Amino acid sequence: MAYKEKKRIMFFGLPWTFTTYEIDEEGIVIDTGFFNKEENDCYMYKVQDVTLKRSLMERMFGLGTVICHTGDVTHKTLELIHIKRSKEVKDYILKASEEARLRRRTVSTLNIDADGDMDEDVD
């Protein structure tokens, strides 16, 4: 499954901007601009966490903002601003990013020391 959404303005959620978001199982592509085009992409396996924000105005017009926290060098956070089906897109990105990490065997682990003495040598 893939999603193609447009950034919308808050006024009735109309797609009046020139920003397009394409999300599939391989990655996220953000295409912006009319005269000066810019394309930014991030592989799905680099997405570490996803946040959904929905203000009162966004909820009134059925919109939401999905924020992807990534391990990408150029953009640590990718924002899919004022999109329709935001909850569905967020859930899809979470699931697809986990599957992409498993496929590439890039599952990251976090080393947490319960005692808090990670720098001390133990004899």
pTM of the model: 0.77
| Per-residue burial over 50-79, b = 16 or more CB atoms within 10 Å of its CB, e = otherwise | bebeeeeebeebebbbbebebebeeeeebb
* Of 75, 102, 106, 97, the residue nearest 23 (C-alpha): 97
| 41-85 tens-digit pLDDT | 899 999 999 999 999 999 999 999 999 998 888 888 999 999 999
The whole-angstrom separation of Cα 110 and Cα 123 is 24
The whole-angstrom separation of Cα 66 and Cα 90 is 6
Longest dimension (CA), the chain: 66
Q: Which of 1-5, 39-43, 116-120 has the highest mean pLDDT?
A: 39-43
